[in-house]
Amino acid sequence: MEGRILKGIGGFYYVLADDGREYECRARGIFRKDGDKPLVGDMVRISVIDNEAAIGSVDSILERKNRLIRPEAANVDQALLVFAFDKPAPNYVLLDRFLITLRRSNVPCILLFNKKDLADAVQVDRLLNAYKDAVADVRALCALEDGFKDTLKEMLCGHISLLAGPSGVGKSTILNALCPGALAETGEISKKLKRGKHTTRHSELFPIEGGGYVMDTPGFTALELRDIEADEVRDEYPEFDPYAGECRFMDCMHIKEPGCVIREAAANGAIPQIRYENYCAVYSELNDRKRY
C-alpha cells in the first residue's frame, strides 16, 4: 500500500495508508545504505507485517516535491513561519536564515508576526512593510483577537503547511486553534531567558478542521545555513532583483564596493534597512565560515 508519514519517533514511522488505517512502521535497512531516510510528509510504499496490530515496514519513498533539512520535512505546500513582536523579541537574522532555507527549498512562506498586542502601530507597519516583498504573505495577528482561528484556517486549509519558528512565539497556541485534538502543550515563557521552552520534540502532521494538514516542528533558537556559499546569499533577497546588473561591478557583493546600487537603495529606504542589515550579517557569517 501507499500512504503518508504523519510522524516519526525513535525510529518508528506512523503512516496513514490508503485503507484509512495508521500503521506503525520501521524503515528497511536499504535507506541507511543509500544515505537517505523517510521524513514526515513523505509519501511511501509500505508492506503490512501484522494486519491486526497495524504494523508494517516502509519499503520505499515516492518522489518528493521538496525536502527541508531543518526542520526535517517533505512535500509541504507552504510554510507558516511564526515570530513574535515581543516575548521573545524577534531575532531578525534568524528570521532571514529561515526565509533563505525555505526559498532554496522552493517552499512558499507566509510570515506571521504573533502577539500584535505587544507592539505599537509603528512597529507593526515597519515589519509588515519590511517583509512584504520577501514572502508570499505577511501578517500581524494576536491569538487573543476575535477571528484568529478563522484567519488561520483561511491561510492553511486545503494545504500541507509547515508550522515553524523559534520557541515561545505561540506555535502551540496556533496548533491548538487549528487542531484541537492535537492537545499541544502551550509552552511557558522563561522569565529568566526571555524565550520559550521547547514543547515540541518531533515533527508531526495534524489534520486541520476543514481539510489539509499542519506540520508542527520543534522550536529552536539557531539555524545553520548549509549548502550555500557567501556569494550566493545575494540571490536569496528578492528585494535586490529590480537592481540586478546596475552595480558598477558585475560581481558586487553589496557590502563595501563603490558604485553599489543596493547599498544606495538601502540608504534611501527603497530597500528596507533591516533586510539589508540582515543580508550583511548572513554574508559575513558565511564568508567567515569559508575562511576557517
Write down the pLDDT at residue 270.
96
CATH class, domain 2-64, is mainly beta
Phi then psi dihedrals of residue 27, to 5 deg: -90, 140
Strand partners, 3: 17, 44
Q: Which of 13, 40, 43, 39 is nearest to 27 (CA)?
A: 13
Q: Which residues of 87-116 are buried (b: 16+ CB within 10 A; e: fewer)?
A: ebebbbbbbbbbbbbbbbbebebbbbbbbb
CATH of span 230-291: 1.10.40.50
Collect the ranges in the chain with pLDDT lower than 70: 181-202, 218-222, 290-292
Which SS3 state, helix, strand or coil, does residue 135 take? coil
Write down the pLDDT at residue 225.
84
Beta strand 78-84 pairing with 109-114: parallel
Helices (H) and strands (E) in the chain, counts: 7, 15
Write down the pLDDT at residue 197.
46
Q: Which three cell numbers stand for residue 1?
A: 500500500
Write down the pLDDT at residue 174.
86
Q: Is the dihedral angle over the CA atoms 180, 135, 165, 186 positive or is it negative?
A: negative
Q: Write the single-letter amino acid at 64.
A: R
Write down the pLDDT at residue 188.
40
Residues 76-128 pLDDT 10s: 999 999 999 999 999 999 999 999 999 998 899 999 999 999 999 999 999 99
Say what the pTM is. 0.84
Domain map (residue ranges) of the chain: 2-64, 68-216, 230-291
CATH class, domain 68-216, is alpha beta
Write down the pLDDT at residue 255.
95
